[in-house]
A and B are shown apart, each in its own frame.
Chain A
Amino acid sequence: MARDVHFGYRRDRVVLDGVDIEVGAGSSAALMAPSGAGKSTLLTILGGLRRPWSGSVVLTEAGSDGDLRQPVSWVFQAMHLMGRRTVVDNVAIAALARGHRRGDADVVTRSQLSRFGVGHLAERPQRDLSGGESQRVALARAAVADPLVVLADEPTANLDRANADLVIDVLFGGFPHAALVVATHDPLVAARADVIYRLESGRLRVDKGTA
């Protein structure tokens, strides 16, 4: 997925110093590191939101880096849902952006909302939902695109334990065919991943599993 990636915000402060990471379809990886160590930065590079100083990122065999329209889905700590829009509207934009008609998008959206346990909330304004419900809506939105890669940045950071556990279940069970990369502080989240990477001094080392 990523080879020898170098990146920093200033020339004298390297954040990623030759990072290699590979996550296959249907498998998962957790990125663990202290705050500010570069987890989110690495995710944004993997997702094409930032360009590395050097190195390469390949999302699919035929893909290229830097293009948001590659089949990457994001799950953010802040969820980034539109509060005044309904749940179904929030999720449908991912399907509509991929060329679905409104009716088809609606069907796909409701199906994913049901998969993630929030189908009954479809017509509610998003702002009325709890944090756990909102994060599941965000996961449903990520799933609508049928992504090859899912990048999740601290998806449980704003949730209580019960909701975090619920979200962890649907996160790791909801994308059986995608490569899932989760940046987290939460050891319980990391424990669910096939591989745990620790980011230290700009380099990744495998803490669990086989890279």
Chain B
Amino acid sequence: MSGWRSGEIVEEAVRRLRPLHVLTGVTVAALCGLTVVAAAADLQRAADVVATRDRVGYTVWVVTVPDTETLSAAGCSDVAAVDQVAAAGAAYGENTTISAVWLPTRLDVSIVDLSPGAMRTWTRSDVAAGVFVGDELSAATGMPVGASLSTADGALTAAQRLDAAVVPGLLRSSVVRVVPATGVAPECWFRLDESAASAAADIAAVAFPDNLTFVARYSEIDDLSTDPVAVLTESPLRFAWLIAVAVVLLLVVLLGLSTRTEVGIYRATGSSRRDLATMANLQIVIIVLTGAPVGMLLATLGVWWFGTPLAGGDSLWFILQPGVATILSVLVLGPAVLVIASSGRVVDALRG
């Protein structure tokens, strides 16, 4: 009585697979795919937060000096050479008038103060010289933030059709003119990697040792939900894989209950509990390792197809992690659950 041979037990485990096993495998595939989609959704939201931060200038630091002083524009540009500074430059504003085209009426928009709203659209790579629409002008006119204001006949013109409901009196806006790194400027800006945010003041102090500098974020964000790390760590979706594991184990229980009589037959014809447990293990492995990778692959391709950022191995691992956790959990718990659910007293299994 040596029990099942290893080759035969593998073959028998495969032969015993039934439509319910296939259904379980398909469910595993779907659930593991959903864990990928859920993680990708979190990743997308975090990426959106990062993009929002960049857009509103959260990672842009503004260096100002007392009214009596100015900063060297060249010195502003040199800040870009500092580690973890993506870009830097000088900025100044002019109390000038721009013309915004408001059909059918042409309005003049008065710039009332210096407000580097254009920084909100500056890219990490470089800043083109010019004048851009900032938040205030955008809010007042409906022009998109970052829209470039053209110069025509020496006047700055916003080529934007304004909403007729806009009250002309509200069309006061802040526009900043970005200038090349020459001469002097009242302000500097630099975009700093968020991980080095605590070094912003030191960077300014080192770059402008002869000035009394004040450093502040261009735009403060108080809302915790705008923290991309918080988006990932606080997301309820990060527990989605636990639900997936629970659902799969529930199916495994059903699988076990539906095979009780069959297990009883095997027991009554001489198969040991150990051999049957081995078959259960193999069946779980087959179900999980065929279903889960397919589901995760298809979901990853779908996520990629629909444009969720998958830059680098880290983000790929991030979206695959819950699926891998699901696989490991089911591989560890599934066989035991299947054995428990499918076993019972043989005499009960074979009754009738």
The answer on a CB contact under 8 Å between B262 and A49 is no
B94 within 8 A of A: no
The answer on a CB contact under 8 Å between A68 and B346 is yes
Query: What residues of chain A lie closer than 8 Å to B4, measured between beta carbons?
Result: 96-97, 99
Knowing A69-B1, A102-B8 touch, does A44 contact B347 (C-beta < 8 A)? yes
The answer on a CB contact under 8 Å between B347 and A50 is yes
A141 within 8 A of B: yes
The answer on a CB contact under 8 Å between B347 and A49 is yes
A94 within 8 A of B: yes
The answer on a CB contact under 8 Å between A99 and B3 is yes
Shortest Cβ gap from B64 to chain A (Å): 80
Contact with A along B253-290 (1 / 0, CB 8 A): 00000000110111111111001000000000000000
The answer on a CB contact under 8 Å between B271 and A93 is yes
Residue of B7, B262, B275 touching A97 (CB-CB under 8 A): B275
Give the interface SS of chain A, mostly helix, strand, loop or mixed: loop
Interface size for chain A: under 10, 10 to 19, 20 to 34, or 35 or more residues? 20 to 34
Binds A, one of B11-19, B67-75, B303-311: B11-19
Knowing A85-B15, A98-B2 touch, does A69 contact B347 (C-beta < 8 A)? no
Query: What residues of chain B lie closer than 8 Å to A197, measured between beta carbons?
Result: none
Chain B: how many interface residues by the 8 Å CB criterion?
28
Contact with A along B142-165 (1 / 0, CB 8 A): 000000000000000000000000
The answer on a CB contact under 8 Å between A97 and B347 is no
A133 within 8 A of B: no
The answer for the CA separation of A85 and B7 in the assembled complex, in Å, is 19
Query: What residues of chain B lie closer than 8 Å to A98, measured between beta carbons?
Result: 1-3, 270
A80-B261, A100-B5 known, 19 other contacts, Cβ within 8 Å:
A49-B268, A68-B268, A78-B352, A80-B265, A80-B268, A89-B15, A93-B265, A93-B266, A93-B269, A93-B271, A96-B4, A96-B5, A98-B270, A99-B1, A99-B2, A99-B5, A141-B269, A145-B269, A145-B270
Instruction: Identify 15 residue pairs between A and B in the complex whose beta-carbon atoms are under 8 Å apart, listed by A's number.
Output: A68-B270, A68-B272, A74-B350, A76-B350, A80-B265, A82-B265, A85-B15, A97-B4, A98-B2, A99-B2, A101-B7, A102-B7, A102-B11, A145-B269, A145-B270
Residues on A close to B: CB < 8 A?
A: 44, 49-50, 68-69, 73-74, 76-78, 80-82, 84-85, 89, 93-94, 96-102, 105, 141, 145
Residues on B close to A: CB < 8 A?
A: 1-5, 7-8, 11-12, 15, 18, 261-262, 264-272, 275, 345-347, 350, 352
